[in-house]
Chains A and B, each alone.
Chain A
Amino acid sequence: MSNDHILGTYDEELTNLQILITKMGNECAEMIRQAIDCVINNDSNAAKQVVSRDKLINAINAEITVLSQNVIALRSPMANDLRLILTIFQNALNLERTGDLAKNIAKIIVKNDLVIDASARDKLEKLSDAVLQNLTDVITAFNGLDEAKAQTIFDADKLVDDLHDDFSSSLMLRIKNDDAHSETVMHLLFISRHLERIGDHAKNIAEATIYAVSGEINQLDEFDDVQFEALLNA
């Protein structure tokens, strides 16, 4: 905050919310990192721990919901404060979904033995590194209400999409060629898709960051009014 509220307790509540959302973001990033390590190492025991870690993410989400509700009900936030609370609430939902996707990746390892060759491993690591970079960058951008940094996520997400396309195309080709490990290939396709979706959630958080700072709803800029009306009435 650039300057403090007259009521110091109001500042404390907003700071608590910001600390919680940053903690949630960092927990999600760590959970994704561990889930990918489990895939690469084919480690089902570690994967079970990743699955149980999702409960912590859900608990933080619940705490953010209650605190946001209380601030809205008791403080009647306005302008940038209102936008901050709305985006923290919205970001918590996005992060909660990334936690679910990391859990889904880990569950694949709990239930299956994957045989991953060097080429697949390389593509998976490139994709997961790009996704994790975007997620940690957007958490930093939101924490600092850094609109410029948030803007960089849009281009960075295109790289994630390209890496996902490249990885999934190579996997599809292996299916087409009757790869001996087609079950592993199918699971890797799901993992690639989950990572790409995590990238989309990072992009949503970038949009929310821009809205929190400027009040501009970036997503709608892609449509003009006529297109928007047509979509609504479709």
Chain B
Amino acid sequence: MASNSPSDTQEIDPVVVCKNVNVFYGDKQAINNISLDILPKTITAFIGPSGCGKSTFLRALNRMNDTIEGCRMEGEILIDNTNIYHPDIDVVPLRARVGMVFQKPNPFPKSIFDNVAYGPKIHGLAKTNAELADIVENALRGSGLWEEVKDRLDQPGTGLSGGQQQRLCIARTIAVAPEIILMDEPCSALDPIATAKIEALMTDLAKDFTIIIVTHSMQQAARVSKKTAFFHLGDLIEYDNTETIFTNPTDSKTQDYITGRFG
């Protein structure tokens, strides 16, 4: 079984602690007793072949699996020492605290401004319109989009390019001041230039946020993440510093996967 925390960072308190997590879709078990710690303000990549459970595990971190009929979870996921699966936990503020960016950019059919303002409004983060405008500007600056859209904030978000739409979705996520950002293959629909911009943005965002990314691109995991977890058939096979995973992994399954010997 893989170690659940990379050896050189044991002195840093994790922001997410997963204990013996099992996830089931009906009778089928998708995640097998995974324990894993996520370090704060670090980019952690989840890699593995299709069906390995990496996206399921990612979605377990903000209870997005709750919306899937027949999906059941066992074990504990603690964020800042609070079990997010405790019956008293309200998922709406949880999902503000643990934001998510999806594979395909999904801006609302609203203006650029309203896309970003939507979250702060429903979470009551701004008392005045001026405060709301500040939050929107800061979020757009944070996502590297402000200079490109500041003169057309009233234009539809859907009118932006794919890469800009994805950065708009990131702005929408960070506008509600999350602690953790989950990214499920955020660049798979983007060209290499837009991908490079998102990757550079992720590196900047990791100064303030904890980022967990699911990616099929091992080069992307190698480029952006500090920690990498390799999943296979619902098991966590190996979790270590990204450099170690891609140069000298411990487990032969990890080595076979990253060198293209099975997929």
Q: A residues within 8 Å of B by Cβ?
A: 3-7, 10, 76-83, 215
Contacts and interface: CB of A to CB of B under 8 A. Distances in A.
B261 A79 contact: no
A85 to B, nearest CB: 11
B25 interface: no
B263 to A, nearest CB: 6
Contacts, number: 38
Interface of A (DSSP majority class):
loop
Contacts of A81: 259
Interface stretch (B67-75, B107-115, B248-256): B248-256
Interface residues on B, range: 10 to 19
Contacts of B129: none
Interface of B: 218-219, 222, 246-249, 254-256, 258-263
Contact of A5 (B246, B249, B254, B261): B261
Contacts of A4: 261
B260 A80 contact: no
A140 B151 CA distance: 68
B241 to A, nearest CB: 13
B261 A3 contact: yes
30 contacts: A3-B256, A3-B261, A4-B261, A5-B259, A5-B260, A5-B261, A6-B260, A6-B261, A7-B260, A10-B260, A76-B218, A76-B219, A77-B259, A78-B218, A78-B222, A78-B246, A78-B259, A79-B246, A79-B248, A79-B249, A79-B254, A79-B258, A79-B259, A80-B255, A80-B259, A81-B259, A82-B246, A83-B247, A215-B247, A215-B248
A114 B55 CA distance: 75
Given A6-B260, A7-B260, A80-B255, 5 more contacts: A6-B262, A6-B263, A78-B218, A79-B246, A79-B259
